[in-house]
Amino acid sequence: MLDLDKRSITYLPGVGPKKAEILRKEAGIFSYEDLLFYFPYKYVDRSRFYKISEISGNMPYIQLKGRILYFDTLGEGRSKRLVAKFTDGTGTIDLVWFKGLNYVKEKYRLNTEYIVFGKPTEFGHAYNIAHPDIDSLDRAEQVAKGLTPFYNTSEKMKRAFLNSRAIQDLQYTLLSGLNWNLPETLSPDVLNRIHMMPMAEAIRNIHFPESAGKLRDARIRLKFDELFFIQLNLLRTAEIRKSKLKGILFPTVGYYFNTFYKDYLPFELTNAQKRVVREIRADMGSGRQMNRLLQGDVGSGKTLVGLLAMLLAIDNHCQACLMAPTEILATQHYATIRELLGDMDVKVALLTGSTKKRERDRILPAIANGEIQIVIGTHALIEETVVFAALGLAIIDEQHRFGVEQRSRLWTKNPQVPHVLVMTATPIPRTLAMTLYGDLDVSVIDELPPGRKSVLTLHRYDNKKALLYDFLRKEIRKGRQVYVVYPLIEGNEKLDYKDLEAGFETFKEVFPEYRVCMVHGRMKASEKEEEMRKFVSGEAQILMATTVIEVGVNVPNASVMVIESAERFGLSQLHQLRGRVGRGAEQSYCILVSSYKLSEDTRKRLEIMVNSSNGFEIAEADLRLRGHGDLEGTRQSGEGIDLKIADLAADGQILQFARDVARDILDEDPDLLSEQHRILNERLKILFSKKVNWGMIS
Ligand code: ADP
Ligand code: MG
């Protein structure tokens, strides 16, 4: 074995400690392997040479063959530059450097044939190429024929002379040092089945494509590889859980479930809810540990399903917990569940980061001795100090997705592993779900409770505010309430709060006859509560907020959702917000306010919102338009899905194939023990070493 993953990038010729530090920090390149898997983001065709006489306005990168006639240093101070007059016999062009002047002058000789590569810019009546790549003829033979790779580099990397070209050189050094040979990552049976390029050839061609066709094949192989190992890891984890972990058996449907269902449930369950409850019951009665994802659009009634599952746990002398991503949501869940349970004798507690010490001192022992049956809270639930007497069911309401690892931490709290139900309000595209939650069984609530009116969505520009205010006034006169939401973007909080506060002042001026309240993440919990209370009670007609609250509140009388700077929200987030209205009997509205100047993509995104109310459709569109890296939640999700080459929007087929192959391999050899599968095991260890072991916790 070459152990490329264990060989530090520091020792690659041309790197050294300083550059290694930058590569680690800026590009996550620690080892030889990391470098090889640092793929180009584009290629430029260098199969053709241009003549200087052919150069015209607005050309892409081109390549010229010729020689330098002379060097000249021009300008002073910051505009000091080195110019090389370059000719190929058809004309001359200036090559210009603003940095590394002496180095360049030393390195290239006059009247020697070079290949020059760069983007010509028009300057006065002539063209020049700034900071071109220059190769001697023999070197060009090796690296500059055909398609040339371009690598992402940060400013810091460029300053340390690690520009795209330098990365290309490092790849070249590394690959030629390895004799252009690399170990395979897949076992012979997988290779036989998939009919794809060997790994060595794929890596060679991704960096130095022999042809467009080979590059395409290399990309397919590498995408497959990436997705295959993710799936193999997920499926094996699920396998280990299923075979090694005994689930707590919940055979009884008893007093709590039945009493609630018969006497307290305020409405008939939808058919979808009934089906999902059956699926959950079957899991819990199977003797295997449940790991189920419950997907359902906003307002589809997941909370109720969660509560029924918790009552089943209590019927079987276990405790249950429900974990929400924010304090407000946890508090809201707590209130909802208290209300649903009415005077039923179930002990429910709320535990969040801001639970007072005295309250905490009361709750924690009662959780530990089993007196408290249901605990609702935030991340505070997975702190060391929280010990359950018998946790039988953990529900995660995952507006912001917890990663696989965070989910697993809940398990260690208990002598026996609890059943886990993940509820997600944001519909997730199939491919993303397969990758984020591929280890879970899936239930879907695909039906809304009866009587919901669809929300009318409109897109308005912010230079027509007066019309918007008129409309709001009309609705408020009818007795309705209005949400106004401002974006809150990480890293930009200061400005965003200013926007919100300015908006708040404006609204107070525009609507002197009504009460306007405001909620944001910088307020004290008690202030927030007071403001929310005003809105919920109907004292205030307008609630202005940042997304912090994710408007997890349920106010059926609020029928208008105004979203300011809507262009700055993700589609799924917009959909989520829209779900907060349309809960009462009245016609509801969602008004997306944006500036007039919008990019084509943004315009399309807002159009989708106006035209579709289907959460899955919207999520798919979001994935297509923004890519998974930008999708909400995926970045925060502990482990994230940091894909190097596969694209969940475009590579659904490869993903499905990868999952099928992984499934078949595991069916045959669940522990990957056979001689030929050893290689897969090794690879899993390299890729998921931090994550491999948690599946064994039991
Ligand atoms: P979700 O969490 O899926 O977004 P909720 O559980 O908050 O949805 O439910 C949204 C609203 O619908 C709540 O007010 C809830 O009481 C109500 N609801 C849930 N199930 C039903 C049902 N079967 N019939 C009528 N209303 C329902
Ligand atoms: Mg919910």
Judged by DSSP in three states, 438 sits in coil
Distance CA 385, CA 567 (A): 42
* pLDDT higher than 80, residue 425: no
Share of the chain above pLDDT 90, in %: 56
Mean pLDDT of 76-81: 86
Averaged pLDDT score across all residues of the chain: 87
Give residue 630's pLDDT: 47
- Decide if 340 contacts 264 (C-beta within 8 A): yes
The DSSP result for 505-526, as a single string, is HHHHHH-TTS-EEEE-TTS-HH
Strands 319-323 and 441-445: unpaired
Distance CA 324, CA 381 (A): 10
Which among 273, 295, 300, 304 is the best mutation to test ligand 1's pocket, defined by most ligand atoms within 8 Å of the CB? Answer: 304
Share of the chain above pLDDT 70, in %: 91
Of the two residues 430 and 563, the one the predictor is more confident about is 563
Give residue 490's pLDDT: 63
Give residue 284's pLDDT: 93
Nearest ligand to the CA of 326 is 2
> pLDDT tens across 507-522, in order?
999 999 999 999 887 8
> pLDDT tens across 468-493, in order?
999 999 999 999 999 999 987 666 77
In the reported structure, the alpha carbon of residue 536 is separated from the centroid of ligand 2 by a whole-number distance in angstroms of 17
> pLDDT tens across 435-456, in order?
777 888 888 898 888 877 789 9
Nearest ligand to the CA of 296 is 1
- Ligand 1 atom 24: residue of nearest CA: 449
Nearest ligand to the CA of 576 is 1
How would residue 639 be classed by pLDDT, with cut points 50, 70 and 90?
A: very low
Mean pLDDT of 55-75: 88
Of the two residues 1 and 607, the one the predictor is more confident about is 607
Nearest ligand to the CA of 269 is 1
> pLDDT tens across 284-304, in order?
998 888 989 898 887 889 999
Provide the 10 A C-beta neighbour count for residue 509. Answer: 9
- Ligand 1 atom 26: residue of nearest CA: 449
Nearest to 258 by CA among 286, 275, 276, 281: 281
Lowest mean pLDDT among 25-29, 357-361, 627-631: 627-631
In the reported structure, the alpha carbon of residue 477 is separated from the centroid of ligand 2 by a whole-number distance in angstroms of 30
Distance CA 632, CA 426 (A): 9
- Which atom of ligand 1 approaches the CA of 269 most closely? 23
* pLDDT higher than 80, residue 634: no
Lowest mean pLDDT among 8-12, 503-507, 610-614, 624-628: 624-628
Give residue 631's pLDDT: 45
Mean pLDDT of 673-683: 94
Give residue 365's pLDDT: 97
- Decide if 270 contacts 282 (C-beta within 8 A): no
In the reported structure, the alpha carbon of residue 396 is separated from the centroid of ligand 2 by a whole-number distance in angstroms of 11
- Ligand 1 atom 19: residue of nearest CA: 301
In the reported structure, the alpha carbon of residue 2 is separated from the centroid of ligand 2 by a whole-number distance in angstroms of 50
18: Cβ–Cβ under 8 A, 6 or more apart, which residues? 160
Give residue 637's pLDDT: 34
Cα 403 versus chain centre, distance: 11
Of the two residues 615 and 395, the one the predictor is more confident about is 395
Nearest to 325 by CA among 403, 391, 273, 390: 403
- Ligand 1 atom 15: residue of nearest CA: 301
- Which atom of ligand 1 approaches the CA of 445 most closely? 3
Mean pLDDT of 5-34: 94
> Which residues have CB under 6 Å of ligand 1?
267, 269-270, 273, 296, 298-304, 425, 449, 554
Mean pLDDT of 535-544: 93
Strands 391-397 and 419-424: parallel
In the reported structure, the alpha carbon of residue 73 is separated from the centroid of ligand 1 by a whole-number distance in angstroms of 74
* pLDDT higher than 60, residue 187: yes
Mean pLDDT of 245-254: 89
- Ligand 1 atom 6: residue of nearest CA: 301
Q: Is 640 left (phi over 0), alpha (psi -120 to 50) or beta?
A: left
Distance CA 676, CA 39 (A): 28
* pLDDT higher than 80, residue 502: yes
Nearest to 512 by CA among 484, 487, 476: 476
Mean pLDDT of 195-211: 94
Number of H helices, E strands in the chain: 24, 22
Give residue 59's pLDDT: 79
Give residue 466's pLDDT: 92
* Cα atoms in the Cβ-side hemisphere of radius 13 Å centred on 632: 25
Lowest mean pLDDT among 60-64, 111-115, 471-475: 60-64
> pLDDT tens across 364-417, in order?
999 999 999 999 998 888 888 899 999 999 999 865 555 555 666 666 656 678
In the reported structure, the alpha carbon of residue 398 is separated from the centroid of ligand 2 by a whole-number distance in angstroms of 9
C-alpha dist (Å) from residue 654 to 220, 440, 660: 8, 20, 10
Give residue 414's pLDDT: 66
Distance CA 549, CA 577 (A): 10
Nearest to 541 by CA among 475, 455, 462: 475
Mean pLDDT of 262-278: 95
In the reported structure, the alpha carbon of residue 312 is separated from the centroid of ligand 2 by a whole-number distance in angstroms of 19
Mean pLDDT of 41-49: 84
DSSP code at position 595: -
Distance CA 333, CA 322 (A): 9
C-alpha dist (Å) from residue 687 to 230, 394, 467, 690, 692: 9, 28, 56, 8, 9
DSSP code at position 449: P
Which among 267, 297, 423, 575 is the best mutation to test ligand 1's pocket, defined by most ligand atoms within 8 Å of the CB? Answer: 267
In the reported structure, the alpha carbon of residue 302 is separated from the centroid of ligand 2 by a whole-number distance in angstroms of 6
Lowest mean pLDDT among 92-96, 183-187, 239-243, 492-496: 492-496
How would residue 421 be classed by pLDDT, with cut points 50, 70 and 90?
A: very high
* pLDDT higher than 90, residue 665: yes
